[in-house]
């Protein structure tokens, strides 16, 4: 069966996620209104500007609908998307959804606040594999709750986390042509 997967398309780089999910054989829907969530199997919240997306979640009526959706179905947030999924974004301009038990600090990679790319080690299924990662004004994960698995770190700091069916990524897996993180996420569809 072809999975119908939504990408929140309020602001940011939703188009690249749509391309990746399409390449993986999903039927992809850009999501702008609450009633579009009904038939989806999973939802991606893309990178962009988290304070802007936070406001748009309210003006579109999607905030409650996404929280409700996440009770049963998988959500992946990348960069600003992770900021929106976390428990505490440490910034009053962002009201997060509390889907992942982590706290973050926005725009916080030390001197590398703007952007950088690196190869990181991805820990999935007991294996460590190299993965190319592009960071763009990335958030830093601070506290990680007990139910959260850390699947990749840089200098000891979590950059890829999973809690149950949900995935949070500080970098941009939609930009490198390596689709393993999207595949990992889609694996949570039941
Ligand atoms: N700096 C952005 C924010 O805090 C996130 C950057 C991104 O998504 N590439 O919202």
Domain range holding 150? Answer: 4-186
Q: How many domains, in total, are found in the chain?
A: 1
Separation between Cα atoms, residue 24 and residue 83, nearest integer Å = 25
pLDDT at 82 over 90: yes
What integer pLDDT is reported at residue 115 of this predicted model? 86
What integer pLDDT is reported at residue 179 of this predicted model? 96
Please compute the mean of the pLDDT values over residues 99-122 and round it to a whole number.
85
What integer pLDDT is reported at residue 110 of this predicted model? 56
> In which region does residue 25 sit, left (phi positive, over 0), alpha (psi from -120 to 50) or beta (all else)?
left
Do 161 and 140 form a contact (C-beta atoms < 8 A)?
A: no
Please compute the mean of the pLDDT values over residues 158-173 and round it to a whole number.
97
User: Among all chains, which residue has been given the structure tokens 């600090």?
Assistant: 105
Q: How confident is the model at residue 111 (pLDDT cuts 50, 70, 90)?
A: low
CATH number at residue 127: 3.40.50.880
Note if 19 is an active site residue: no
Mutational pocket test of ligand 1: of 16, 78, 79, 108, the residue with most ligand atoms within 8 Å of the beta carbon: 79
CA distances from 66 to 45, 87, 190 (A): 10, 15, 18
What integer pLDDT is reported at residue 114 of this predicted model? 78
pLDDT at 142 over 70: yes
Ligand 1 atom at minimal distance to the Cα of residue 172: 9
User: Length of the chain, please?
Assistant: 190
User: 132: which DSSP letter?
Assistant: E
Distance of CA 83 to the CA centre of its chain: 8
Separation between Cα atoms, residue 120 and residue 123, nearest integer Å = 10
CA 179-181-185 angle, 5° bins: 115
Q: How confident is the model at residue 112 (pLDDT cuts 50, 70, 90)?
A: low
Please compute the mean of the pLDDT values over residues 154-160 and round it to a whole number.
93
Determine the distance separating the centroid of ligand 1 and the alpha carbon of 126, expressed in angstroms: 30
């Amino acid at each position: 069966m072809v999975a119908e997967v939504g990408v929140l398309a309020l602001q940011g780089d939703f188009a690249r996620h749509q391309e990746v999910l399409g390449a993986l054989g999903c039927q992809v829907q850009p999501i702008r209104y609450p009633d579009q969530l009904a038939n989806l199997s999973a939802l991606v919240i893309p990178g962009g500007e988290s304070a802007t997306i936070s406001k748009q979640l309210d003006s579109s009526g999607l905030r409650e609908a996404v929280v409700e959706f996440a009770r049963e179905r998988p959500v992946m947030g990348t960069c600003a998307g992770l900021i929106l999924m976390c428990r505490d974004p440490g910034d009053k301009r962002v009201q997060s959804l509390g889907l992942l038990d982590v706290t973050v600090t926005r725009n916080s990679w030390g001197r590398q606040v703007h952007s950088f790319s690196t190869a990181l080690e991805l820990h999935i299924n007991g294996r460590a594999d190299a993965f190319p990662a592009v960071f763009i004004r990335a958030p830093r994960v601070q506290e990680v709750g007990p139910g959260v698995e850390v699947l990749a770190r840089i200098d000891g700091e979590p950059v890829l986390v999973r809690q149950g069916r949900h995935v949070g990524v500080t970098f941009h897996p939609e930009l490198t042509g390596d689709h393993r993180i999207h595949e990992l996420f889609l694996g949570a569809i039941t």
